[in-house]
């Protein structure tokens, strides 16, 4: 372990340059052409056999190094349509086109630039130290995580036909905790997500004559309020779910009653039974409110994206956690809480039929985080993922994230047989 990691100090300046470059030039889901090219070239330079364009813009590196297990390490690479407000000298000013063709600001507001940098660094160290392990290393840079189809898209595109089926799948995510912390959790770690687009049909007309219309704005307002009763009145206190109306669009001007309203709803659940009940309740409420309003047509409910629950294999997680605790200082490897955020990482282990483990790595200034926690101001003072102010500290975040991936990979890759 120490020998493989011995080159990390010398590699950190290069990794910092890679990170700031990726942060300065983010790309939206399935548009990560520049990002994929940079990462693929680095894998080729490290000696990997590289496959480009897997699942549209994904990159797969394969390093076969004798007999032994196959370990897959994964990082996501896409950014978000967010206007950056960090004030960093390497802040993004780039724009991109969203799925509807609209030009939008783009930012790495969820840390995927850090994920890619960690994996690039770990892959290079493992390749350089290949005399100290035996097996096959699969490195996967995944596009489209934010839209929920990146992992499944790579699987559909023949990922495991190209690279072979791994024995374990490992991945990690930066979190707004203190840099230096590593958080693991067996079993369920992150929530499932269902994102829905709901179109409510009304009957448009003049703003001065509402009696001739069916006002979709009023209908939408009723739906929004009623949806909030699902969690508070239809779930037990011991059950967990989040129902958020993230957008609502209706009308074009003040004196015209529109003929439709469009809502986008996000649902987070940890349990399949709860998920089914929440989705059924959404359908019942939307249809019921439309009928009560006298809507001229049935509402339309369309799935935008879906993410599975991220659930870690218990035995593999226990093994990995023990390896982390043996490597990192006492008190830095902690139990992770349940996270209401979602990931499509679990698609890989499910599709391969092998154990998978996903963990969290802190990325914020430790002093600021601990002070905010002590004052009960963590939620207000520490920007979370997806915030326009999300800005991980580079050190020790870069080092710790590379080390976790190397430690994780070597926990499964066998030591080479001695002569």
Query: Which residues are annotated as catalytic?
Result: 78, 145
The token pair that represents 99 in the structure block: 């799925």
Beta strands per DSSP E along 251-355:
256-257, 260-269, 300-307, 310-312, 333-335
Q: Is 395 annotated for ligand binding?
A: no
Cα distance between residue 358 and residue 310, in whole Å:
8
Q: Residue 90: CA atoms inside 13 Å, Cβ hemisphere, count?
A: 17
CA-closest candidate to residue 88, choices 21, 28, 32, 36: 21
Helix count and strand count (H, E) for the chain:
13, 18
- Environment class of 52 (CB within 10 Å of its CB; exposed 0-12, middle 13-18, buried 19+): middle
Q: End-to-end CA distance of the chain: give it in Å, rounded.
A: 20
Cα distance between residue 327 and residue 8, in whole Å:
15
The token pair that represents 50 in the structure block: 């590289």
Cα distance between residue 42 and residue 115, in whole Å:
15
The token pair that represents 365 in the structure block: 């200034």
Task: Yes or no: say if 103 and 169 are a contact pair by the CB < 8 Å rule.
Answer: no
* Beta-strand pair 135-142/70-76: parallel
- Can you tell me which residue has the tokens 């912390």? 181
* DSSP state, residue 91: -
Sequence-distant (6+) residues with CB within 8 A of 187 are 311, 312, 314, 317
Q: Is 110 annotated for ligand binding?
A: yes
Q: Is 173 annotated for ligand binding?
A: yes
Task: Yes or no: say if 196 and 304 are a contact pair by the CB < 8 Å rule.
Answer: yes
Adjacent-strand bridge partners of 359 = 172
Q: How far is CA 72 from CA 48, 64, 160, 352, 353, in A?
A: 13, 12, 11, 11, 13
Which residues are documented as binding site for Mn(2+)? 110, 112, 146, 173
Which residues are documented as binding site? 110, 112, 146, 173
């Amino acid at each position: 372990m120490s020998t493989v990691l011995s080159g990390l100090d010398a590699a950190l300046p290069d990794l910092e340059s890679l990170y700031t470059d990726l942060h300065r030039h983010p790309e939206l889901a399935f548009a990560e052409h520049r990002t994929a090219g940079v990462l693929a070239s680095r894998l080729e330079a490290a000696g990997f056999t590289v496959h480009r364009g897997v699942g549209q813009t994904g990159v797969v590196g394969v390093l076969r190094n004798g007999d032994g297990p196959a370990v897959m390490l994964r990082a996501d690479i896409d950014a978000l349509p967010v206007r950056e407000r960090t004030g960093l000298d390497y802040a993004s000013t780039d724009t991109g086109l969203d799925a509807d063709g609209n030009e939008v600001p783009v930012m790495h507001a969820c840390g995927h630039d850090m994920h890619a940098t960690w994996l690039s660094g770990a892959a290079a160290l493992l390749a350089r130290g290949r005399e100290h392990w035996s097996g096959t290393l699969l490195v996967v840079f995944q596009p489209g995580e934010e839209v929920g189809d990146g992992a499944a898209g790579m699987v559909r595109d023949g990922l495991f036909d190209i690279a072979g089926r791994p024995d374990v799948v490992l991945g990690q995510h930066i979190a707004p905790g203190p840099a230096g912390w590593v958080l693991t959790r067996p079993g369920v770690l992150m929530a499932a997500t269902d994102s829905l687009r709901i179109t409510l049909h009304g009957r448009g007309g003049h703003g001065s004559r509402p009696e001739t219309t069916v006002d979709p704005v009023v209908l939408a307002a009723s739906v929004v309020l009623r949806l909030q009763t699902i969690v508070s009145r239809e779930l037990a206190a011991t059950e967990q779910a989040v129902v958020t109306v993230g957008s609502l669009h209706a009308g074009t001007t003040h004196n015209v009653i529109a003929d439709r309203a469009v809502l986008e709803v996000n649902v987070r659940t940890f349990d399949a039974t709860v998920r089914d009940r929440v989705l059924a309740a959404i359908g019942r409420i939307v249809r019921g409110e439309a009928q009560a309003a006298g809507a001229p047509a049935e509402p339309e409910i369309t799935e935008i994206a879906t993410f599975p629950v991220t659930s870690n294999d218990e035995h593999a997680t226990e093994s990995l956690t023990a390896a982390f605790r043996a490597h990192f200082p006492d008190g830095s490897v902690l139990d992770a809480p349940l996270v209401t955020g979602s990931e499509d990482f679990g698609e890989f282990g499910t599709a391969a039929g092998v154990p998978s483990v996903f963990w969290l790595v802190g990325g914020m200034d430790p002093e600021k985080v601990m002070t905010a926690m002590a004052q009960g101001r963590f939620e207000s003072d520490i920007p979370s993922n997806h915030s326009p102010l999300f800005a991980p500290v580079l050190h020790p975040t870069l080092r710790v994230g590379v080390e976790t991936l190397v430690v994780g990979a070597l926990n499964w890759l066998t030591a080479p047989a001695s002569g």
